[in-house]
Amino acid sequence: MTMMSAEQYEKSLRRLNLVVYMFGKRVENVVDDPIIRPSMNAVAKTYELAHRPEHEDIMTATSHITGTIINRFTHIHQSIEDLVKKSKMGRLLGRETGCCFQRCVGMDALNALSIVTFDIDAKHGTEYYKRFVKYLAYVQENDFTVDGAMTDPKGDRSLPPHKQPDPDQFMHVVEEKKDGIVVRGAKAHQTGAVNSHEIIIMPTLAMREEDKDYAISFALPSDAEGITYIMGRQSCDTRKLEGGMMDQGNLLFGGHEALVVFDDVFVPWDRVFMFKEYEFSRQLVEQFAAYHRQSYACKVGVGDVLIGAAQTAAEYNGVERASHIKDKIVEMNHLNETLYCGCIACASEGHKEPSGTYCVNILLANVHKHNVTRFPYEISRLAQDIAGGLMVTLPSEKDLQAPETATWLKKYFEAHHDIPTEHRMHILRLIENLTLGTAATNYLTESMHGAGSPQAQRIMISRRINMHEKQRAAKKLCGIEE
C-alpha cells in the first residue's frame, strides 16, 4: 500500500486501540463518536483528495527514498516547488473543510527531523538519520497520519525543565535500557491526536546541558502502552450531539485537540531520533516551528469560506450593494490574500539544508504566522458585522421544525422572497461556527497560539532581522561615515 483512500484510512483507525477519555468517561468507539467524527472526516479529506485527478498535482509527491507516488503529507520537501505546493495544499484543504485538517503537524515534524538528525550525526557520528529514513519509509509506505507533538505543559514558566518542582512538566527519560528508553511526561493541545497512527515527540524549547534528560525526540505508535488521550472541549461542542442538519454550522468537518499523557512508556532505540544532544534542541524547535508556521496557509482557505459566507449573508439580507458592505468584503479579501502572500513568500524564499531537505525562509514564516495571529480576528469581526446580530439570537433548528413556532420563524426571518428562510439560517450558523463556535477554536485561538504564541514569532523576527545592514543603508544615504 502506498496511498490509502479515505475509506481505508477510516478502517485503519478502527484497528487502533487508543485509550481516550472525554467528559470523564472512556470513549470505546473513537471513530464513530459524534463529537470526534467530524475531525476524522477532515483528516479523511487529505486521503480522498490525493486520489482525485483535479487535486493530485498538489496532494501527491514522488518519494525521494523510494521513487513512488505518495501523499504529500508524508513527503520530505525536495525543492522550492515542493514548499510552494505545501502552502497551496493548506489553502485547498482549509477551503474544502472549513476547519483544521490536522495532518500538517506530522509532515512538519518529519521534515524538521530529516534536517536535524542529519546535522546531529555530522557532529556526533551517531546514526539518527539512518534510523529516521527507515522510519520515514515506514510512514510513507503505510500512508500514516502522524501527530507531531512539541508542546509540554511547562509547569512554572520561569523555571527550566531540570528546576521544575514536578519533573514531569517536560517530557523526559526516566530509565535507559539495553533495548530502549522509558519516558514520562505529557504533550498538550495535540491537534488530531486521536486521528493519528503515529506520534512524534520533540522537545518544546532550547535546552542547556542540565536539561539533557529532556532533550529527546522519538516516535511511537499512537496506541503504544502507557499513552492516554484526554479530549479538549470546544465552544458549542455538544451541538454535535443534538442531531439535525443546521445548528452545528459546518455539517461535515471539525477539528480536535487532546492532552496526551505518557506514563512510563517504552521507546525502542530504533525509534529514538535525539537522545540528550541538548545543543540541537533549539534547531529542532526553530525549524519545526518555521515549517509549522508556514502551515497556517490553511487559515487562508478557511478565510475563503468565511468571506464566501459573509457575501452570501449580505445577499440574503439584501444589502450586498451597500457601499460599506462592499468595502468590508474588500477588506476581508485584502487581509486574507495578505496571509496568502506570506505563506507563498516563505516557501519561495526557502533553501536547501545539508541533508538535502528544503526548509522555508524562517524569518518570513514567522512574519506570516504573526499575521495569522491577527488577521483572522479582523476578518471574523467584519463577517459578524455583515451577518448582523441574528447569528447569535437565532432560535434552534428544532424551533424551525416545531409546528407551534415554524410559521413564525419562517415569516419573521425571511429577508428576501426568493431565498428560503432555512438558507439564511444555515449561512448564519456557519458564520457563528467559524467565528465563535467549534471552528473558532482553530480559526481564531489556534491562529493565536498554535505553532507558538505571538511573542514566540516576535522573538524569532528579532533574531532573524539583519539590523546592521539596515543601519548601514540608512547611514550611507545621509552621509554618516564610520
Partner 1 sequence: MGEMVKVGLKYCGGCNPEYDRVALVRHIEESLQGRVAFVTPESEGVGLILAVEGCSTTCADLSAFQGMDIRVITNIDGAEGFIKEIRKRV
Q: Which residues are catalytic?
A: 100, 104, 191, 257, 292, 296, 298, 446
Q: How far is the CB of 69 from partner 1 (least distance, A)?
A: 11
Tell me how far, at minimum, the Cβ of 308 lies from partner 1, in Å. Answer: 12
The 370-409 contact track toward partner 1, x by CB under 8 A, reads: ----------------------------------------
**Do the strands 227-231 and 257-268 form a parallel or antiparallel pair, or are they unpaired?**
antiparallel
**Minimum distance of partner 1 from residue 378's CB (angstroms):** 21
Using the rule CB under 8 A, is 368 a contact of partner 1? no
Residue 166 CB burial class (10 angstroms; 0-12, 13-18, ≥19): exposed
Q: Which of 56, 168, 315, 353 binds partner 1 (CB under 8 A)?
A: 56
Give the CA distances from residue 64 to residues 109, 133, 233, 347, in Å, rounded to whole numbers and listed in that order. Answer: 17, 10, 39, 19
Task: Choose between 69 and 159: whose C-beta lies nearer to partner 1.
Answer: 69
Closer of 197 and 299 to partner 1 (Cβ): 299
CA atoms within 13 A on the CB side of 120: 29
∠333-335-337 over CA atoms, to 5°? 65
Residue pair 290/360 in contact (Cβ under 8 Å)? The answer is yes
Q: How far apart (Å, rounded) are the C-alpha atoms in residues 249 and 111? A: 35
Choose, by CB under 8 A, the member of 51, 55, 398, 458 that binds partner 1. 55
Instruction: Select the span of 48-56, 213-221, 350-358, 386-394 touching partner 1 (CB under 8 A).
Output: 48-56
* Only segment of 83-91, 269-277, 354-362, 452-460 that touches partner 1 (CB under 8 A): 83-91
Does 85 contact partner 1 by CB under 8 A? yes
Q: What is the rounded CA–CA span in Å between residue 120 and residue 122?
A: 5
- Comparing CB distances to partner 1, the nearer of 46 and 248 is 46
- For residue 89, state whether it binds partner 1 (rule: CB under 8 A): yes
Binding mask 182-221 for partner 1 (x = CB under 8 A): ----------------------------------------
Query: Does 233 sit near partner 1 (CB under 8 A)?
Result: no
Enter the C-alpha cell of residue 172: 523526559
Q: Are 370 and 454 in contact (CB under 8 A)?
A: yes
Helix, strand, coil in percent for the chain, rounding step 5: 55, 15, 30
358-385 b/e (C-beta count within 10 Å ≥ 16 → b): bbbbbbbbbbbbbbbbebbbebbebbbe
**Of 4, 18, 36, 92, which one interacts with partner 1 (CB under 8 A)?**
92
Nearest distance in Å: CB 297, partner 1 = 9
How many residues sit in the footprint of partner 1 (CB under 8 A)?
A: 17
Find cell 479579501 and name the residue: 333
Which residues lie across from 12 on neighbouring strands? none
Q: Which residues pair with 275 in a beta bridge?
A: 216
In sequence order, what are the beta bridge partners of 352? 358
48 binds partner 1 (CB under 8 A): no
The answer to whether 382 touches 310, Cβ cutoff 8 Å, is yes
Q: Per-residue string for binding with partner 1, 292-331, x by CB under 8 A?
A: ------------x---------------------------
* Distance in angstroms (rounded) separating the CA atoms of residues 190 and 225: 18
Q: Does 59 bind partner 1 (CB under 8 A)?
A: yes
Contact residues toward partner 1 (CB under 8 A) are 53-59, 81, 84-85, 88-89, 91-92, 95, 304, 340
